[in-house]
Amino acid sequence: MRVAMATAMVAAVVPAIYAAPARADEQAEQRARGHYEIGQGLYRLGDYRAAIKEFAAGYELARKPGFLVNLGQSYRKLGELGHAREMYQQFLATVPPGDPKRAQVEAVLVEIEEQLRAHPELESPAPTTTAIAPPAANLPSGAGDPAAPAATAPVVIVRPRPERRPMRIAGLTLGGLGLGMLGGGVAFAVVADSNARDLTALDRMGGVFDGAKDSAYSTDRLLEGVFFGVGGAALATGIVLYIVGRR
The overall pTM is greater than 0.85: no
Q: How many CB atoms within 10 Å of residue 20?
A: 10
What's residue 21's pLDDT?
52
Question: How do residues 105-138 score in pLDDT, each as one tens digit?
Answer: 999 999 999 998 888 877 765 444 444 544 433 3
Q: How many CB atoms within 10 Å of residue 106?
A: 12
CA 171, CA 182: separation in Å to the nearest integer? 16
Calculate the CA 155 to chain-centre distance.
10
Question: How do residues 38-63 score in pLDDT, each as one tens digit?
Answer: 999 999 999 999 999 999 999 999 88
CA 74, CA 49: separation in Å to the nearest integer? 8
Half-sphere exposure of 234 (CA within 13 A, CB side): 19
CA 154, CA 94: separation in Å to the nearest integer? 20
Greatest Cα pair distance in the chain: 131
Query: Please, which residues have CB within 8 angstroms of residue 113's CB and are 6 or more apart in sequence?
Result: 85
Question: How do residues 186-243 score in pLDDT, each as one tens digit?
Answer: 998 888 888 788 767 766 776 666 677 778 878 988 888 888 888 888 888 979 877 8
